[in-house]
Amino acid sequence: PTGKVSVYGVQPDGRLTYAAIDAATGRRTHGNVVSTTTLGFTPKAIATLNFNTLLVTEDGPEGKLYRVDIITNNNSLSFHPPVHLDNGYTHDLLAFDGTYLFGIADGVLRRYAVYTAKPTSTDISGSALIGRGFTLKTLTTTATNWLLGTTDTGLLLSYRVKGIEDYDRHQLKDATWEGMSHLLSPGGGVYYGHLPNGALYRYRDLNPHDANGDDITGHGTVDTNGWSQTLLSAQPNTVS
């Protein structure tokens, strides 16, 4: 695989982090750099739209959705005050595939179309019901309308979303994935699994859309510790 993996995160105190990983070697080439400013609210879920734009939901009954615009993530990390876009986004998990934003709340999966790189409330539309019973612990995207997630029981699951209440479910692994607190994919069949002890593991799926997990192999760790974020998200479609 080739490309740069851009990973944003949130520290327990609400500060943002940024790191870059070389997809070919698995080596962290930049960061983690940490902001001095906090988000100013308790975040619940995060999705990276692009290199300098995040969507973050607030952990509260109103389900406030914010856009966070990054100013710099080079030697330091700074961002503009979060922009409140809308309410009603009570999702426990968020993921963006480059076109669609997916969210899961109480086991219900919904899909929203995102029309611009810096969306306002009117640029996120649809709220299409994809299905129920999505009891996932982690969520990421591997391509447009392709989701990947893990469960508390250790399953690794892939979903192809075909439309409203129309999707295919593929069980890639039957066990051992229950320890992941976050699952990330920048595309290209590259996966990163984060453990609560701060380790970040890397995996390669030779064909991420063949509904078969036999070709998924582990390639060690990016780091054995140091990833202390409570939320993590990778920019989609940066690796091929």
Domains in the chain: boundaries: 4-234
Question: In the predicted model, what is the mean pLDDT of residues 69-91?
Answer: 97
pLDDT per residue as tens digits for the range 191-214: 999 999 999 999 999 999 999 999
Q: Which CATH number fits domain 4-234: 2.115.10.10, 3.30.300.30, 3.40.1160.10, 3.90.1150.10?
A: 2.115.10.10
Question: In the predicted model, what is the mean pLDDT of residues 67-80?
Answer: 97
Say if residues 161 and 149 touch (Cβ distance below 8 Å): no
Q: Residue 126's pLDDT band (boundaries 50, 70, 90)? A: confident
Say if residues 124 and 96 touch (Cβ distance below 8 Å): no
pTM above 0.85, yes or no: yes
Residue 48, pLDDT score: 98
Q: How many CA atoms lie within 13 A of 85 on its CB side?
A: 22
Helix (H) or strand (E) holding 237: none
